Chains A and B, each alone.
Chain A
Amino acid sequence: MPRALRLWAAMLLVVAATAATLSGALAADLKPLVRNLGAGGFADTEAAIAALAQTGDPAVVPVLQALEAGDLYVRKEDREVVRGSASNGGYTLTDPLGGAALGEAGRGAVDKIRINNSLRRAISAALGSLTLMSPDAGARRAAADSVFKTRNPDGLAALETALGRENDPAVRSIMEQARAAILLTAAGTPDADRLGAIETIRARGDQESLALLNAVRSAEGASAAVRAAADKAFEAVEMRLSLWGMAQNLWYGLSLGSVLLLAAIGLAVTFGVMGVINMAHGEMVMIGAYATFLVQDAIRTYAPGLFDASILIAIPVAFLVSGAVGVLIERTVIRWLYGRPLETLLATWGLSLVLQQAVRSIFGPTNREVGAPSWMSGSFELGGLVITHGRLWIVIFAFLVFGLLLVALKRTWFGLAIRAVTQNRNMASAMGIRTARMDALTFGLGSGIAGLAGVALSQIDNVSPNLGQSYIIDSFMVVVFGGVGNLWGTLVGALALGTVNKFLEPYAGAVLGKILVLIFIILFIQRRPRGLFALKGRAVEA
């Protein structure tokens, strides 16, 4: 179970326990039972724990928790069980029931109540059954989960009582699963109950169910019918889990694909639409990431309250900064090289070196930290999937950028003008489109989108002068694979390459997987030199 969930359950327990203590009705009766915890050896303590659990009183919970944490001590003078926390040279003592202060004690005045693994199990089983009846549904749920894990047959009675009272269907089903787990583990359960239990566990269908079922089908002395049922259930769960595993891979693939898409989509404009090979494209991404860093830095200094919005503010800034650098590059270098793609490639490579060194000189060679806003950290579960918020937002962002670009190119005057210029310069010029300005703006648009990619990458990668370099080859692969001049091709290319990469990783390892993808693309280009969605016809040859 994820740590976060466990923490959350523990917090609920504390809340529930505090509420119960305040009512304080039964506190006095518990005192002798608590005292027994410090009575003697491990066996005595275990018996005392069981007795405490029998009371079903939530007030016992903090006592057992303190015991589990090793915070309970026996005061030598009166054999009273107390809770102690270390303070300068000795201990501050409190009553484990209710928490009343009991003064200070020296190191020698108390003995720690020691626990071993068997006691730990007993404590967690006791805690489990105790909170099964908590008024808080969350606490009951956590307790049922814990019973499921420990499968302590002693807890069966408590569990069944709790089941009888339970109204919440979700908690009830977990309790039933816990009961099934106990029935399956315990010796002497009748076969009919076992078969029913197997069905319940099968319905649960997670990794733990798989382990449990595996134990059942390989257990000695199980009847043939139980074995067969367990086998079937095992296979069903395994199948389900492998499907979820595939879904998880798909998600990772989608996530990687959307990063590739972000990195490549700007290139799809400069390379695909304009035919300009911009080897400095990666550096536009890098500049976008540094712009994000600067925005966040400024917000941290001047308006810390806006921190959560820093990434949102960085989006337009990064777009404009990278776009402006792009326009500058187009006006000073690239426009002299139209129609000479190989020379453009070399010149922009040179620019990439200059930009890298410039950033290195200004910001230093080390990584810069860009923090994640609260709404981008954390994760949630969807069935068998674990999805982090950061990745989810990047996927959404990538698709948003793609959609906006598509609309901009297909539905606006600007897009029409861009397409006009790329298809027939002279004609466009004759119709009053200022082709030189369109070139600069188009290149600026591609670079600006690279800047947007930088904003996203600042969340998942190191912001360093080399940031862009690691994406440039991948981006070109995506564009070339998808088919130059076709935005949809870029989308499909990015997602396909991301997914293939992630599916190869478990078998081949990350590096070999990547090599295989590269080799695949090299071979693919041989089959379809113009990519997945190639433009055909005479226009291409010109």
Chain B
Amino acid sequence: MSAENTLLYVDGVSVSFDGFRALNSLSLIIGPGEMRAIIGPNGAGKTTMMDVITGKTRPNTGTILFEGGTDLTRMDEAAIANLGIGRKFQRPTVFENHTVWDNLELALKNPRKTWSALAYGMNPKDRARIEEILDITRLSPRRERLAGSLSHGEKQWLEIGMLLAQDPKLLLVDEPVAGMTDAETEQTAHLLKTIAGTRSVIVVEHDMVFVRELGVKVTVLHEGSVLAEGSLDSVSANRQVIDVYLGR
């Protein structure tokens, strides 16, 4: 495999915790602008994969390159985020004691240095951008509410909105529709497709309906490595995938 012309290049990454191999020589390539769904049973290493890409966990071995040249395994979370990799957690994590507006203000792509934060003042450009995101995420009426008082679905959207504000090149989204109503799920799928645009997106999800709705290439993880890759229909027909995951 070559890292050229890839956005994310993961090669031979292994991670173990106390002897348990969470990732076992995992390799994965995401091209610019590509949306990819990752599925797999519990313990397949989906969340650990995200942890490794975003710098939360250091791999024992393996290479992770961003935009073909930047080695992510040596950087911390903040530095990786500043390269343009955004992450949405499985459980919605927004800043509950901040208003919706402030949450977006914090996420907005601006210098992250301490002094810049101290000297920051809201400017018309930023204001317009936040308004725009509020519209996209349908949170405009909630802008002055504390994020902690939002409903589960609204929190998910706010978090997606925050990702949007971050303006990342690569988005990692962990189970965005867990615990959502069908209507919310549909809206979320729409929302994700809207914001994907020119960005690359990795979505981890259990919900097959949702994955089908996205209609993108699917990677199946099993025991820390890739079991199958392809369209949802082709992996669904894969014997091994049926054995370990989908069931007969």
**Which of A's residues lie within 8 Å of B, judged by CB?**
535-538
Closest to A539 in B: B17
Collect the chain B residues with CB atoms within 8 Å of residue A538's CB.
17, 47-48
Sample of 9 A–B contacts (CB below 8 Å): A535-B18, A536-B17, A536-B18, A537-B17, A537-B18, A537-B20, A538-B17, A538-B47, A538-B48
For the complex of A and B, the 6 pairs showing the least CB-CB separation, nearest first, are A537-B17, A536-B18, A536-B17, A537-B18, A538-B17, A537-B20
Q: How far is the CA of A216 from the CA of B224 in the complex (A)?
A: 75
**Which of B's residues lie within 8 Å of A, judged by CB?**
17-18, 20, 47-48
Closest to A534 in B: B18
Q: How far is the CA of A535 from the CA of B19 in the complex (A)?
A: 12
Collect the chain A residues with CB atoms within 8 Å of residue B20's CB.
537
Collect the chain A residues with CB atoms within 8 Å of residue B17's CB.
536-538
Collect the chain A residues with CB atoms within 8 Å of residue B18's CB.
535-537
Q: How far is the CA of A536 from the CA of B47 in the complex (A)?
A: 16
Q: How far is the CA of A268 from the CA of B47 in the complex (A)?
A: 31
Collect the chain B residues with CB atoms within 8 Å of residue A537's CB.
17-18, 20
How distant is B41 from chain A, measured CB to nearest CB, in Å? 16
Closest to B51 in A: A538
Q: How far is the CA of A329 from the CA of B80 in the complex (A)?
A: 46
Closest to B57 in A: A538
How distant is B51 from chain A, measured CB to nearest CB, in Å? 8
Which of A535, A536, A537 counts the most chain B CB atoms within 10 A?
A: A537
Collect the chain B residues with CB atoms within 8 Å of residue A536's CB.
17-18
Collect the chain A residues with CB atoms within 8 Å of residue B48's CB.
538
Q: How far is the CA of A536 from the CA of B15 in the complex (A)?
A: 12
Q: How far is the CA of A26 from the CA of B47 in the complex (A)?
A: 101
Q: How far is the CA of A535 from the CA of B17 in the complex (A)?
A: 9
Q: How far is the CA of A201 from the CA of B242 in the complex (A)?
A: 85
Q: How far is the CA of A535 from the CA of B20 in the complex (A)?
A: 13
Q: How far is the CA of A537 from the CA of B43 in the complex (A)?
A: 13
Q: How far is the CA of A537 from the CA of B18 in the complex (A)?
A: 7
Which of B18, B47, B48 counts the most chain A CB atoms within 10 A?
A: B18
Q: How far is the CA of A95 from the CA of B47 in the complex (A)?
A: 99
Q: How far is the CA of A538 from the CA of B20 in the complex (A)?
A: 11
How distant is B161 from chain A, measured CB to nearest CB, in Å? 25
Q: How far is the CA of A1 from the CA of B48 in the complex (A)?
A: 67
Beyond A536-B17, A538-B47, list 6 extra A-B contacts (CB 8 Å): A535-B18, A536-B18, A537-B17, A537-B18, A537-B20, A538-B48
How distant is A536 from chain B, measured CB to nearest CB, in Å? 5
How distant is B19 from chain A, measured CB to nearest CB, in Å? 10
Q: How far is the CA of A536 from the CA of B48 in the complex (A)?
A: 14
Q: How far is the CA of A537 from the CA of B45 in the complex (A)?
A: 12
Collect the chain B residues with CB atoms within 8 Å of residue A535's CB.
18
Collect the chain A residues with CB atoms within 8 Å of residue B47's CB.
538
Q: How far is the CA of A538 from the CA of B42 in the complex (A)?
A: 14
Q: How far is the CA of A537 from the CA of B47 in the complex (A)?
A: 12
Q: How far is the CA of A537 from the CA of B48 in the complex (A)?
A: 10
Closest to B47 in A: A538
Q: How far is the CA of A535 from the CA of B48 in the complex (A)?
A: 17
Q: How far is the CA of A537 from the CA of B22 in the complex (A)?
A: 9
Closest to B48 in A: A538
How distant is A542 from chain B, measured CB to nearest CB, in Å? 11
How distant is A533 from chain B, measured CB to nearest CB, in Å? 11
How distant is A414 from chain B, measured CB to nearest CB, in Å? 26
How distant is A85 from chain B, measured CB to nearest CB, in Å? 79
Q: How far is the CA of A222 from the CA of B20 in the complex (A)?
A: 72
Q: How far is the CA of A537 from the CA of B20 in the complex (A)?
A: 9
Closest to A538 in B: B17
Q: How far is the CA of A412 from the CA of B48 in the complex (A)?
A: 35
How distant is A484 from chain B, measured CB to nearest CB, in Å? 16
Q: How far is the CA of A536 from the CA of B18 in the complex (A)?
A: 6
Q: How far is the CA of A536 from the CA of B57 in the complex (A)?
A: 11
Closest to B18 in A: A536
Closest to A537 in B: B17
Q: How far is the CA of A537 from the CA of B15 in the complex (A)?
A: 10
Q: How far is the CA of A507 from the CA of B47 in the complex (A)?
A: 51
How distant is A529 from chain B, measured CB to nearest CB, in Å? 15
Q: How far is the CA of A536 from the CA of B58 in the complex (A)?
A: 13
Q: How far is the CA of A535 from the CA of B18 in the complex (A)?
A: 8
How distant is B87 from chain A, measured CB to nearest CB, in Å? 15
How distant is B81 from chain A, measured CB to nearest CB, in Å? 18
Q: How far is the CA of A537 from the CA of B16 in the complex (A)?
A: 8
How distant is A156 from chain B, measured CB to nearest CB, in Å? 72
Which of B17, B20, B47, B48 counts the most chain A CB atoms within 10 A?
A: B17
Q: How far is the CA of A208 from the CA of B17 in the complex (A)?
A: 58
Q: How far is the CA of A538 from the CA of B51 in the complex (A)?
A: 10
Q: How far is the CA of A276 from the CA of B198 in the complex (A)?
A: 49
Q: How far is the CA of A536 from the CA of B17 in the complex (A)?
A: 6
How distant is A508 from chain B, measured CB to nearest CB, in Å? 37
How distant is B128 from chain A, measured CB to nearest CB, in Å? 38
How distant is B175 from chain A, measured CB to nearest CB, in Å? 15
Q: How far is the CA of A538 from the CA of B18 in the complex (A)?
A: 11
Closest to A541 in B: B56
How distant is B205 from chain A, measured CB to nearest CB, in Å? 19
Q: How far is the CA of A412 from the CA of B17 in the complex (A)?
A: 28
How distant is B65 from chain A, measured CB to nearest CB, in Å? 25
Q: How far is the CA of A538 from the CA of B47 in the complex (A)?
A: 10
Q: How far is the CA of A80 from the CA of B228 in the complex (A)?
A: 118
How distant is A515 from chain B, measured CB to nearest CB, in Å? 33
Q: How far is the CA of A154 from the CA of B128 in the complex (A)?
A: 111
Q: How far is the CA of A210 from the CA of B47 in the complex (A)?
A: 68
Q: How far is the CA of A537 from the CA of B21 in the complex (A)?
A: 11
Q: How far is the CA of A424 from the CA of B178 in the complex (A)?
A: 22
How distant is A423 from chain B, measured CB to nearest CB, in Å? 15
Q: How far is the CA of A287 from the CA of B180 in the complex (A)?
A: 53
Closest to B15 in A: A537
Q: How far is the CA of A538 from the CA of B22 in the complex (A)?
A: 10
Q: How far is the CA of A486 from the CA of B20 in the complex (A)?
A: 19
Q: How far is the CA of A351 from the CA of B17 in the complex (A)?
A: 39
Q: How far is the CA of A538 from the CA of B46 in the complex (A)?
A: 13
How distant is A532 from chain B, measured CB to nearest CB, in Å? 15
How distant is A316 from chain B, measured CB to nearest CB, in Å? 39
Q: How far is the CA of A318 from the CA of B139 in the complex (A)?
A: 61
How distant is A53 from chain B, measured CB to nearest CB, in Å? 77
How distant is A486 from chain B, measured CB to nearest CB, in Å? 12
How distant is B222 from chain A, measured CB to nearest CB, in Å? 18
How distant is B56 from chain A, measured CB to nearest CB, in Å? 9
Q: How far is the CA of A538 from the CA of B52 in the complex (A)?
A: 13
How distant is B98 from chain A, measured CB to nearest CB, in Å? 21
How distant is A456 from chain B, measured CB to nearest CB, in Å? 35
How distant is A537 from chain B, measured CB to nearest CB, in Å? 3
How distant is A161 from chain B, measured CB to nearest CB, in Å? 74
How distant is A274 from chain B, measured CB to nearest CB, in Å? 22
How distant is A539 from chain B, measured CB to nearest CB, in Å? 9
How distant is A131 from chain B, measured CB to nearest CB, in Å? 68
How distant is B17 from chain A, measured CB to nearest CB, in Å? 3
